[in-house]
Amino acid sequence: MIAKPTKQQLLKGLARYTANERPWKEAPSKWYAQLPGEKPVPLKYLYALATNTEPASVHTNEIKAVLQDLDVSIGLLEGKDEYASELLEGGEVYTRDGLAEIFGIGDATLNTGIFKPKGYRSVWLFITKQKTSDRTQYQDEFDGEVLRMEGQTAGRTDFLLTSHQNVGDELLLFYRDSKKEHPGAGFRYEGKFKYESHAGAKPARFVLSRVRPGNFKHGEKRTWELVLEALTSLGDGVGRQEVVDWIVARYPSYNTKNDVDLYMLSVNSPTRPSYPQNSKPRRTDAGSQYDRLFKVGEGPDSTYEFYNPAVHGVWEIYPDSNAGNKKKLGVRRLVDPVIAGLKAEEEAADADGTFKAGSLEDARRRVLAQIVRRRGQPAFRKALLDAYGGSCAITGCNLALILEAAHVFPYKGAHTNVVGNGILLRTDIHTLFDLRLIAIDPDTRLILVSPDLDGTDYESLRGKTIRDAAKKSHRVSLDALKWHRAQCVW
């Protein structure tokens, strides 16, 4: 056992370090020690200066063991500014293998009772009330709010509990009554706890208490919830930087690298299976709290809006051997909302009843009303006829009787009846546009045709340039075209 310095020696060592009295070449160190009211300093150098020894002659774990009874906080100076709790769900059962997969852990010490995952500001406690006979019979009691537990007999990891709040680490409890309580010898994740007190040593008796909501890094919300808060405030159709700026203005300590939560939450983002929250197959109609957004467009100009199954369809994360991620999971749309809507309307029409001769006049009126509705609001249609010179923007057809005012964003009232959200199309092209079988490239303004139309007359439209409105101010907006293109999954 190495020599144990006194508190006075440590203070002298700190003074020597502060005065740059360091006879060795200083190498980067992950571990630091911090005395009350003082700045953190490299652990090995503080010990070496306090005891007049060479840093290379002592092991970090030995230093941590001899300093654990002194009023010294010890922790990691380096590491990701991430908390494992943000990837876990309270009340869920996790096996050690499952946690290893989620967090990319290959360290065998995960099988110990107290574990610190590399790269996370977290300490994990694995507690089993009824131990098997081959395990150390630690005496642990948990009443749902307070955990009374014994530390490890060697005491080498006690400092992880006593100093976790000082160094900014969270303390997470995984608990089970017995090894057989949950499938796969899993543990129920109980959430965050905090150190209250301890007595004795080797093993020390610890008292830990549950941390209630409101103690996340940013108050009551996790980082991905801040993204949703920003979207709620800013509205649909905002970009990544707008979201980040909104969050930073209200939560200055927000780590801007967490903007990847946008991809994690977007049902159509091909990279979402790379995130632990989406590491298993599921459908977006299964009620997951992580299926919240829809991504519009590609690259830095992408925007985000809240996910609506009626508008965006049902998506799924599914096993895909060709996927480029480690989980071999892909993303695809299962249910096209347009096709689903058509089916519902067809079923309603089938149930409407049989032919009645006396209703011919009413039927004629309904047909005419449908034509008017299909053509678009009269003022809106007239504005588009003027803007496009009375010709279909895709085919050039100039027969006004069969030209219709198509909305790019679906009609949601007068505010969507603007020329920038419309395009003049021939009746059949309008139908294909609404069915998302024909689209327009937002950047090149070239006509895009779904592979489903290959072998038809419409295939010949592919790659042609649309006939834009004569005035730039009347041309269909880039954002509207991006939104429409994002709804097409081909």
Q: Residue 272's pLDDT is what?
A: 87
Distance of CA 123 to the CA centre of its chain: 22
Q: Residue 79's pLDDT is what?
A: 44
Band of pLDDT at residue 471, cut at 50, 70 and 90: confident
For residue 466, give the amino acid letter.
I
Q: Residue 446's pLDDT is what?
A: 93
Tens-place pLDDT, residues 242-281? 999 999 888 887 877 777 788 889 999 888 887 777 878 8
Q: How far is CA 417 from CA 377, 380, 382, 406, in A?
A: 8, 6, 11, 10
| DSSP annotation string for 440-459 | E-TTT-BEEE-GGGTTSGGG
Q: Residue 50's pLDDT is what?
A: 81
Q: Closest Cα partner for 298 from 333, 335, 263, 264?
A: 263
Tell me how far apart the alpha carbons of residues 83 and 255 are, in angstroms, rounded to a whole number: 12
Tens-place pLDDT, residues 137-154? 878 888 888 889 888 777
* Strand segments (E) across 54-121: 73-76, 93-94, 114-115
Mean pLDDT (whole number) for 319-348: 76
Locate the domains of the chain by residue range.
7-76, 84-210, 223-338, 369-487
| Average pLDDT for the chain | 79
| DSSP annotation string for 93-110 | EE-HHHHHHHHT---GGG
112 Cβ partners below 8 Å, 6+ apart?
126, 152, 157
Helix axes 240-250, 223-234, angle to 10 degrees: 110
How much is the CA Rg of the chain, to the nearest whole Å? 32
Q: Residue 255's pLDDT is what?
A: 76
Band of pLDDT at residue 125, cut at 50, 70 and 90: very high
- pLDDT at position 60 over 80: no
306 Cβ partners below 8 Å, 6+ apart?
231, 236, 292, 293, 294
Q: Residue 355's pLDDT is what?
A: 47
Tens-place pLDDT, residues 368-410? 555 555 555 677 888 888 889 999 999 999 998 888 888 887 6
Does pTM surpass 0.85? Answer: no
CATH topology of domain 84-210: PUA domain-like (2.30.280)
Q: Residue 172's pLDDT is what?
A: 95
Q: Which two tokens stand for residue 281?
A: 């197959």
Tell me how far apart the alpha carbons of residues 234 and 155 are, in angstroms, rounded to a whole number: 51
Work out the burial of residue 322: count CB atoms within 10 Å of its CB; fewer than 13 is exposed, 13-18 middle, 19 or more buried.
exposed
